[in-house]
Structure 1
Amino acid sequence: MLKGIALSVFIALAIPASAATWRDELPQAKALGSGDLTWFRLRIYTAKLWSENPQFSLNSPFALELTYHRSISRTQFVETSIDEIKRIFGQQYSAEQLKRWEGEMYRAFTNVNEGDQLVGVFLPNQGCRFYNRNQLLADIRDPEFAKAFFAIWFDERTKDSGLRDQLLGRAK
């Protein structure tokens, strides 16, 4: 019996102190803004930014919720993310670092279908966690990756500044 208790304690300590859902990470989060990503008039996903801080800041945790209106393969999602990081940051990240991040994203993401939801939680100076509606998909403890990944939506050089403004609650 003592052996079983010790094993339970070990397992509890070995598992990251992460939540079952993203809402457990940010229980007081409120939506700051939302908008749709469209491509040639096709709605790809609806994005919603959540934060416990009333003003968006890369110094505070936040969650980016994406609800898909189209099917997208994991490969397409990962390749597009890497391409966007390269476009935004140029040569700032080495090929080796980008390859490592690509592997992390392949581990974190799955194919998505219409109605599926992915939520990324940004944790300053720690990294990020990714969830679907039911569970934690990945805990990536790389603060630089987290900054680069979420820059796809929140950097001033994002491809869709209109969506960025909507997420930040700045759209008119």
Structure 2
Amino acid sequence: MTVIVAGCLMVFAAASYASQCTAVEPFNQLKPVGKTRLQVWFWDVYDAELRTETGAYEDAEQRALQLSYLRDIEAQDLVDTTAEEWQRLNIALTDTHNQWLQQLQQMWPDVQKGDCITLVETAAGHAQFFGPEGELGVIRSAQFTNDFLAIWLDEKSRFKSERNELIGAQQ
């Protein structure tokens, strides 16, 4: 079940649900880098799209990741999986990380098939989250933004081929 939920974190909008994912103007202003679909066993879990100001992953100053869910997932499962993935990436769960996880629990809704959660990195490096109804909140920490995006973008990411598709790497 953990693997399924882990997969639920990476999401990009399926064509039939694109209208629910296109209203995030800060995301739409950036250029696409890559996109992928995560499938775990026979389940489509999510689609994910990465954007930056240049359309390239390397040396990007602003990143945005849109997760389009292809399954219903409870917010608590998303938060728990965030913590599990950080531990898997050897990111220590400090008191600050636990505070961030509490913020996510309060901020994120349960998602339904077709919903999107979008993270847009601000000029200060903070993580601004958007959901189906608009802005969900901001975590004012560049370290959080880096640690959170590492789940998808780090070389040690659980799903390597999907990571490579997101960053536009040649395979």
**Cα distance in structure 2, aligned partners of 1:108 and 1:62:** 20
Secondary structure of the residue aligned to 2:169 is: coil
Residue 87 of structure 1 is matched in structure 2 by: 88
Residue 162 of structure 2 is matched in structure 1 by: 163
**Cα distance in structure 1, aligned partners of 2:159 and 2:166:** 11
Residue 113 of structure 1 is matched in structure 2 by: 112
Residue 78 of structure 1 is matched in structure 2 by: 79
**Cα distance in structure 2, aligned partners of 1:26 and 1:163:** 20
Structure 1 position 59, deviation (Å)? 4.5
Task: Determine if contact 1:46/1:67 at 8 Å carries over to the other structure.
Answer: yes
Identity %: 25
Structure 1: gaps spanning 5 or more residues: 1-20
Give me the TM-score of the superposition, normalised by structure 2.
0.79
Task: Determine if contact 1:59/1:124 at 8 Å carries over to the other structure.
Answer: no
Residue 33 of structure 1 is matched in structure 2 by: 34
**Cα distance in structure 2, aligned partners of 1:88 and 1:58:** 21
Structure 1 position 26, deviation (Å)? 4.9
Residue 149 of structure 2 is matched in structure 1 by: 150
Task: Determine if contact 2:35/2:50 at 8 Å carries over to the other structure.
Answer: yes
Structure 1 position 126, deviation (Å)? 3.0
Amino acid aligned to 1:156: E
Secondary structure of the residue aligned to 2:89 is: helix
Residue 123 of structure 1 is matched in structure 2 by: 122
1:22 equivalent to 2:21? Answer: no
Residue 138 of structure 1 is matched in structure 2 by: 137
| Root mean square deviation, CA, Å | 1.8
Task: Determine if contact 1:68/1:114 at 8 Å carries over to the other structure.
Answer: yes
Give me the TM-score of the superposition, normalised by structure 1.
0.79
Structure 1 position 98, deviation (Å)? 2.5
Give the greater-gyration-radius structure (CA).
Answer: 1
Residue 65 of structure 1 is matched in structure 2 by: 66
Secondary structure of the residue aligned to 2:48 is: strand
CA deviation digits over 1:102-132, x for unaligned, max 9?
1111122110010111101123643110001
**Cα distance in structure 1, aligned partners of 2:44 and 2:124:** 33
Cα gap change, 1:71/1:26 in structure 2, threshold over 3 Å: closer, same or farther? closer
Q: How many equivalent residue pairs?
A: 149
CA deviation digits over 1:127-164, x for unaligned, max 9?
11000133110111011111111100000110001111
